[in-house]
Amino acid sequence: MNALKLVRYAAWASIAVLAAALAAAVIFPRLTPQPVMTGKALVGGPFQLETVDGKPFSNKDVEGRPYLVFFGFTNCPDVCPTTLFELTGLLKDLGPAADKIAPLFVTVDPERDTPEMLRVYMNAFDPRITALRGTLEQTQSAAKAFAAYFKKVPLDSGEYTMDHTASVILMKSDGTFQGTLDMHEPRETQLKKLELLAASAT
């Protein structure tokens, strides 16, 4: 077999293999695993915490109402105060529609964030933002419900800080996940997300 015939033979063999593969895909499409689409993100669920006044506060208290959740702590040097300050401005700019939304701030540092500490800290922000705390177990359960993360990080000084999810979680009035609010987004985008959230009010 000369070189030309060898090249032709290889080309026809490749075409035959490709044709067989295409035929198999058409005849046996169900053999190919298909991704399962549920249409729902696994964010949101039961939680049990307390307000700074010691009153129980759970998912039942926001049932049927759009709400947002931000996990943070009072000793946070920049992300938490900046986010709460930005939320305060966004709620103001949203106008009357902001009253339809229940903004929640959940401390991930219940060891240091006493009710009194939280009460004083929240005076700097919109009074509609409800500060919540719980035991470590309750806090872990709440974070898990919203697919959020936090971890105690020791410092060289002997103190510690908290690493945590920095985005704001948006939940529609039917209890489903709308998305997140990122403070690095354009302000117009943030306001549009909150407008859509408020519009889900029943």
Pairing of strands 67-72, 168-171: antiparallel
pLDDT at 90: 97
pTM (2 d.p.): 0.79
Q: Let me know how long the chain is.
A: 202
Residue range 168-202, pLDDT digits in tens: 999 999 999 999 999 899 999 999 999 999 999 97
Residue range 82-110, pLDDT digits in tens: 999 999 999 999 999 999 999 999 999 99
Q: What is the DSSP letter of 92?
A: H
Q: CA 157 from chain center: how many Å?
A: 32
